[in-house]
Structure 1
Amino acid sequence: MKKILEVQDLHISFHTFAGEVQAIRGVSFDLHEGETLAIVGESGSGKSVTTKSIMRLLPDRTTEFKSGHIMFEDKDLIKLKESQMQKIRGKDISMIFQDPMTSLNPTMTVGKQIMEPLHKHQHLSKADAKKRAIELLQLVGIPNAEARFKQYPHQFSGGMRQRVVIAIALACNPKVLIADEPTTALDVTIQAQILELMKELQKKINTSIIFITHDLGVVANVADRVAVMYAGRIVEVGTVDEIFYNPKHPYTWGLISSMPSLDESDEELYAIPGTPPDLLNPPKGDAFAARNQYALKIDLEEQPPMFKVSDTHYAATWLLHPDAPKVEPPEAVKKRMHKFKATDLEKEGK
């Protein structure tokens, strides 16, 4: 499968009054044509910063790209001028943000907002742009598209506003679509509809998606591959099946254990102990060591490299070193893994 985007050893810092925040510390990943890559982790792990760096939406005054490359179609996006990025942003790479109300201009009709990228990037006439905008509203499942074309964002429900945001992002048939927790502000019923819509649209236009979320339940439904982030680094990456059925990093175990389950209401919900480290002064060794009950002495002294589990599965934990003691995932993780398998068998009708 052809690589469409490649992030290589990315380091990003923010300069604040308190000092230098090392927000991204050596992130590397690939995105292939037509695939959905989910980036998961707690708030503050660096998910949004990583993807906003791809769009070059980080504030210039306080942001420093210390090293690394973001390669898209043989161009390093970090080195492009703003005028060059404007030709890519919204056309080749688009983004869906968390809150649809703040993503839309309340003073403009939704139709005009969908027409904007069509005018700017595809140079369509007003009549053609309007026709295409109505088609996009229909594509994302908004009924009475011609009438709703003339309405303002406040006249739409939260779910419908998010559909409008998706229509804007898809207007120019982007090669890469970044979805930054697009269902966080929506209730679970509407969330499921939006996720199903994104899967259908991906098949129709064959775009590649980077899906940011802290909800592993969402990941299971939308992603092909998963990258788990913690403290500005990717600590595990693999296919959906590898991450859910054979997780190797203790942080991934914690995320899986903390997933709520409707049929286990009597059990206390698991929470990962402690808090993420302060990236003003990142720890010397493994950033997760202070919260990791399986931490080894070396975790406090040296960052683990990415150990290979399979051709598609890698994890940065010293527990995978040949000399490390053998540690099994906790029972809560095993129960979730068993449940995932049972659910998949039900879906397959076995």
Structure 2
Amino acid sequence: MAKEKMLAVKDLAISFNTYAGELHAVRGIEFDLYKGETLAIVGESGSGKSVSTKAIMSLLPKKSTTIHSGEILFQDQDLLKCTEKEMQHIRGKDIAMIFQDPMTSLNPTMTIGKQIMEPLIIHQNMSKENAQARALKLLELVGIPMPEKRIKQYPHQFSGGMRQRVMIAIALACNPRVLIADEPTTALDVTIQAQIIELMKELQVKMDTSIIFITHDLGVVASVADRVAVMYAGEIVEVGTVDEIFYHPQHPYTWGLLASMPTLEIGNQDLYAIPGSPPNLLHVPNGDAFASRNQYALAIDFEEEPPMFQVSPTHYAATWLLHPDAPDVTPPQEILNRWAKYRKNEVNVYD
């Protein structure tokens, strides 16, 4: 039976007007999100991950942003064509977002309880008494002890991990159908990261929510994702199931990301880094944007942008190396070995 499609992003292209010129932040990306799944979007800083998802929420600055093309379809409605008033009914209720730094996202002048109650009163038309009862249940659900006491406290009285739990409680308050998590564990230490990830996995099963998880940490991706989209220079360069991306990667950029993951066995060896820097998207390069950093680049990479080649029904990659006439190039074995070691270490540490 076909999965229900919750969200469909088609040919989305976004630029920002800056003092230096037009910055092409997102360049024709496409992806789908299905009911109950977690789609991870990974890539270096500046690759367009957050811009893409903020476009879904209509949270990009209106004055400096130009949306050149695209559709974002949710329940047969194009979110790009919605008015601000229409989006206010969707935000928090149907599509919710967890931001990277809860200290800057939570209101320091309001108690935690009032901040959880607010979307319940606005979107669910709850009375204050019912909203407070629901807020207490949500605090308990996300693992905050003594919710009756905590509900009256302010954000500065919570630790970083607890504040992130509060953000999750706010996001889940109205049982959204889609949850966007924008690097929700980046500011947390490793132990708290593991707790938050486990919490999100548990809540997803209980609430059957579809999640878009934005991160640059491939270890986190392995723990939470069903499918993975790899972004580079404003484009999706590879997409597939988590096993396809990690065990059968096809794009040289994905190879580089996997090779740069540290393992316990690395010792005194130098940690691999992808050579060079991402391109300046004020001046989009010809051909494949990754070509100048790609040791396997072909002549055509500098002239023509590669299309998405199908590897399997669920796996696609935009690299000329998949063309039938391309030379036979496979990822270096040390990359696959490194990933296998990482998975072994992860199991030993967390199980």
Which TM bucket (shorter chain)? over 0.9
State the partner residue of 2:273: 271
Distance 1:177 1:29, change over 3 A: same
How far 1:331 sits from its partner (Å)? 3.2
Distance 2:345 2:183 in 1: 24
State the partner residue of 2:23: 21
- After superposition, residues 247-326 of structure 1 pair within 5 angstroms as 247-326=249-328
- After superposition, residues 84-233 of structure 1 pair within 5 angstroms as 84-233=86-235
How far 1:267 sits from its partner (Å)? 1.9
Distance 1:103 1:319 in 2: 43
State the partner residue of 1:240: 242
State the partner residue of 1:12: 14
Instruction: Extract unaligned runs of 5+ from structure 1.
Output: none
Cα deviations by residue, 1:44-93 (Å, 9 ceiling, x for unpaired): 00000000000000000010110010000000000000000000001000
- Identity percentage of aligned residues: 72
Cα deviations by residue, 1:117-154 (Å, 9 ceiling, x for unpaired): 00110000000000000000000000000110000000
How far 1:110 sits from its partner (Å)? 0.3
How far 1:281 sits from its partner (Å)? 0.7
Query: SS of the residue aligned with 1:37?
Result: strand
Cα deviations by residue, 1:216-273 (Å, 9 ceiling, x for unpaired): 0000000000000000000000000000000000000000000011222222100001
How far 1:341 sits from its partner (Å)? 6.7
**Could you tell which deviates more after superposition, 335-344 or 111-120?**
335-344
State the partner residue of 1:61: 63
Distance 1:18 1:180 in 2: 27
How far 1:340 sits from its partner (Å)? 5.7
Instruction: Extract unaligned runs of 5+ from structure 2.
Output: none
How far 1:334 sits from its partner (Å)? 2.2
Distance 1:344 1:153, change over 3 A: closer
8 Å contact kept, 2:177–2:210: yes
How far 1:284 sits from its partner (Å)? 1.0
Q: TM-score, normalised by structure 1?
A: 0.97
8 Å contact kept, 1:140–1:164: yes
Opposite residue 65 of structure 2, the aligned amino acid is T
8 Å contact kept, 1:244–1:340: no
Query: SS of the residue aligned with 2:206?
Result: helix
Distance 1:262 1:343 in 2: 7
8 Å contact kept, 2:263–2:345: no
Opposite residue 246 of structure 1, the aligned amino acid is H
Distance 2:98 2:197 in 1: 13
Q: TM-score, normalised by structure 2?
A: 0.97
How far 1:330 sits from its partner (Å)? 1.7
Distance 1:238 1:334 in 2: 17
State the partner residue of 1:47: 49
**Could you tell which deviates more after superposition, 270-279 or 338-347?**
338-347
